[in-house]
Structure 1
Amino acid sequence: MFPVLALCWLAVFFDGMDVNIYGAVMPHMLDDTGLGLTPDSAGTIGSWTTFGMLIGALTAGNLTDWLGRRLMLVASVSLFSAGSALCAVAGDIGLFGAGRFVSGLGLGGLMPLCLAMVMEFAPPRRAALTTGLLMTSYHFGGMAATGLGLTLAPAAGWRWVFWAGVLPALVAVPLLLRLLPESPGVLLARGERDKADAVADRFGLPRPTEVAAPAAGAAGRLAAVRELFRPESRWATPLLWLASFCGLLLVYGISTWLPQMMRASGYGLNSSVSFLMVINAGGIVGLLIAGRGADRFGAVRVSAIWFLLTAAGALLLKAHLPLGVTYLVVAVTGVWLFSAQVMVYAATNTVYRDSERAAGLGWVTGVGRTGAVVGPWLIGELAASGNESWGFTTFALAGLGGALAICLVPAARRFGRGGTTAPAPVTADARS
């Protein structure tokens, strides 16, 4: 599965770079009086991005029936590259916000597609670890964005950082078109049995069956959503949605606002932007730890502990600590923060059957995007009123909410089965 993981890793790397670019250059943009950006409008624009992600995530599944996952990935990368170019030429916040919305449309579709591809091609009993490896790329991308914010923005201006965001269309798109295979399950759902079997044989996968194939067409999609609320998962599904909401509120709230929040707390401009790089570096370490831990102890258990530790880290950041200690707290918080959300995705593997996996994952990410919309907007409102420090309390509460929701998933599954201890109707890639 290495080619699939490598290509999806590259696509998610550029996803992470695009998401974090805005936070990395926001302090410079707020200092640019010609653009007219204010803390209030900055939070609103951050929510435009994530609102575009919400639409993109919920739309991608239906378009996949028509275009396939490979071409949808190409379309997603092309969209957020085009949005970055629009931001680079924007002369006012209206056009800039439109560019971030276009970027969001592409970003929203990309993540669930890459996750579904990697889970499908992953070796048996390594779904959580493979998911963690994939998501390290998001944080490498975030670190790249921070590096651009620290070097390119002061030297050449913030617009050149967004011009760098056009690189995905030039680098990733040709590679995806040439090298990425189509999903065997999608090929089978479209009636292309021979192609589906050929791809499965090439990558050493079991040949897909009708049970494993995702439902096609609008009627099939509605049926797939109904299946998410069958007795065994009807209570677990909304809990996964709530956990994803809390996780993505944390991820996008912090990715958008951490530098400005730290600057408002009294840290210097360069240090404040550097915190974004440090927290993404911690995220890489955390995903490697969480992936192995989830394969051994279960994605649900790891996600719950990680959410609780994130809440503790957010409360520590509320205090103005010495710079060296603050760097350490930010790094350790990054270890827990991002992988808590990724393990929510991995936990879907314990709840949904093979035929429901794509729909279940798509709705967990899609509904969770409402948290990504709320996070940047809410912190923007707090910043506009001079209460940035309350943002850390908001993040701590989101961590507690995510921990509670994901903790209840195993009990919800047992309750849905009438209290029986029958095994889950999926392969045990990650125990709950």
Structure 2
Amino acid sequence: MTRSISWGAVLACCAVMVCEGIDLVVYGNVIPSLLEDGSMSVDKAAAGNVGSLVFAGMFAGGIAAGRIGLALGSKRVVVSGVVCFSAATLLSGLSPNLAALASARFVTGVGLGVVLPIAISIARRGVEDREAPLVVSVVMSGVPIGGTIAALAVSGSVGLGWRAPLAIASVAGFAVSGLALALLPADGRGAGKGAPSPDSWRGAFKAFRLPLLVACSLATFFDLFAYYGVTTWLTQLMREFGIPLEGSLQLSLVLNAGAVAGSLGTSLVSLRIDAKKVAVASGILAGASLFAISIKPENPVALVALVAATGAFAISAQNHLNALVSNAFPAETRSSALGFTLGFGRLGAVFAPMCGGAILQAGLGAPAVLSCFGLASLAGCLALAAYTGRAVERSLSGDAARCEGRGPRGVRRKEDR
């Protein structure tokens, strides 16, 4: 069933995503300590804005990823990207002031944004469409695994402030860059030998593919708004509910553990059920879980279960969306399509921390923040309405004439008869 999958490449890409998960989640977990550091003069709104800058960098990196990968070679870009975001994370922990921290987080995001779509494309090479959700989910499970590691690291270093966890995150990234260099498959002949052909990276933006690209980009925007919004703010939101710091950090651990289980569990379900159905169902369940958390359940077991469900379904919705994108575009345009959808989607991740910080700063409370993220998750499901079998067929055909069901000069194609 999985003979087409190169598991060595998949696991190497998963290890890269572990570092990405550590880097992304560690900042959200150190926000309470950062707010207490008088030397940094950071309030809740500023903390949210800094959290958004990493996603702004990911937007820039994601948009450029397809062309950079074609020009330099996928393996070289992944290894260099990991080194880049690891070095920037180290600088984040050494930042003497808010401006330096903000700049370092933006550069971190650029490296992260370039690496993600290229890593997914490497793992997806030669894999059958039916197995794409499994491959993407295994790779992307590295993000919540890294988040779990980050939560544990922060829990174990509560007395050390916010700088130590960032330094630890950078060390992990440098180690994995060497692993990626050793295990990722070499690029094909000609990769990285010059500028890419315009058709190879612009093909994703041809008119007959735009409806798919727009639908997937909007869905990614809302999914990442929900996922990274709750990832960034969960620890502080639980503090707003009156839960002690240690308990809040433990709930962050639950969120990421749920995401790991959800990534792998739903990927197996998608081997039997259409990936779009799994993506939509996951988005609906994630939204429902967020709304349920917003009413602050008194039963601690119920709260833990809802946080775990949020992690499981929020990331599963995005994992299956990535698989849908990879299945809907030809191999030569796949990195560009993934880079654009993830890059545009990062705008959702940019606005989510800012939105959460602004809502809290305005005194509207944690329930309003959680409800906002829940609405975004449901909106992501609605955006997938334009992702249809016919639209995918037109995209894969590589011929705009398929949009009208006609071949050249109005002659119907043989496969349409």
TM-score, normalised with respect to structure 2? 0.88
Query: 2:320 maps to what in 1?
Result: 343
1:409 to 387, 411, 417: 387
C-alpha contact 1:3 1:180 (8 A) present in aligned 2: yes
Q: Which runs of 5+ in 1 are unaligned?
A: 192-214, 421-432
Match of 1:162 in 2: 166
* 1:389 corresponds to: 367
Within a 5 Å distance, the mapping from 1:227-246 to structure 2 comes to: 227=206, 229-230=207-208, 233-246=209-222
Q: After superposition, where does 1:9-408 map in structure 2 within 5 Å?
A: 9-122=14-127, 125-152=130-157, 154-184=158-188, 187=189, 217=196, 219-220=198-199, 223-227=202-206, 229-230=207-208, 233-322=209-298, 323-387=300-364, 388-408=366-386
Q: Structure 1 residues 81 and 223, CA, compared in 2 at 3 Å: closer, same or farther?
A: closer
- Report if the CA contact (8 A) 2:226-2:377 is conserved: yes
CA offset at residue 324 of structure 1?
2.3
Q: Is the 8 A contact 2:204 2:334 kept in 1?
A: no
Cα distance, 1:349 vs structure 2: 3.5
Helix, strand or coil for the counterpart of 1:53? helix
SS in 1 for 2:210: coil
Query: Match of 2:234, as an amino acid?
Result: L
Structure 2 unaligned segments of length 5 or more: list them: 1-5, 395-401, 406-417
Given that 1:127 and 1:346 are in contact with CA atoms closer than 8 Å, whether structure 2 keeps it comes out as: yes
Alpha-carbon RMSD across the aligned residues, in angstroms, is: 2.3
Counterpart code for 2:354: W
Report the alpha carbon displacement of residue 121 of structure 1 after superposing the two structures with TM.
4.8
Quote how far apart the aligned CAs of 1:3 are. 1.8
**1:234–1:60 CA distance, 2 compared to 1 (3 A):** closer
Question: Is 1:315–1:396's contact at 8 Å kept on the other side of the alignment?
Answer: yes
How far the C-alpha of 1:169 sits from its partner, in A, is 4.3
What are the superposed Cα offsets for residues 84-107 of structure 1, whole Å, 9 maximum, x if unpaired?
A: 111111121111111111111111
Structure 1 residue 189: Cα displacement: 5.9
CA distance in 1, matches of 2:78, 2:403: 40
Pick which of 306-315 and 89-98 moved more: 89-98
Shift of 1:173: 1.8
Distance 1:168 1:121 in 2: 30
1:8 aligns with 2:8: no
Counterparts in 2 of 1:419 and 1:276: CA distance versus 1, 3 Å: farther
- Percent identity over paired residues: 27
**TM-fit CA distance, 1:221:** 5.0
Aligned length: 393
Q: Which moved more, 1:311-320 or 1:353-362?
A: 353-362
Give how far 1:357 is off: 2.0
**Letter of the 1:173 counterpart:** S
Q: Which moved more, 1:410-419 or 1:380-389?
A: 410-419
Paired amino acid for 2:202: A
Which residue identity does 2:290 align to in structure 1? Answer: A
State the partner residue of 1:209: none
Which residue does the alignment assign to 2:398? none
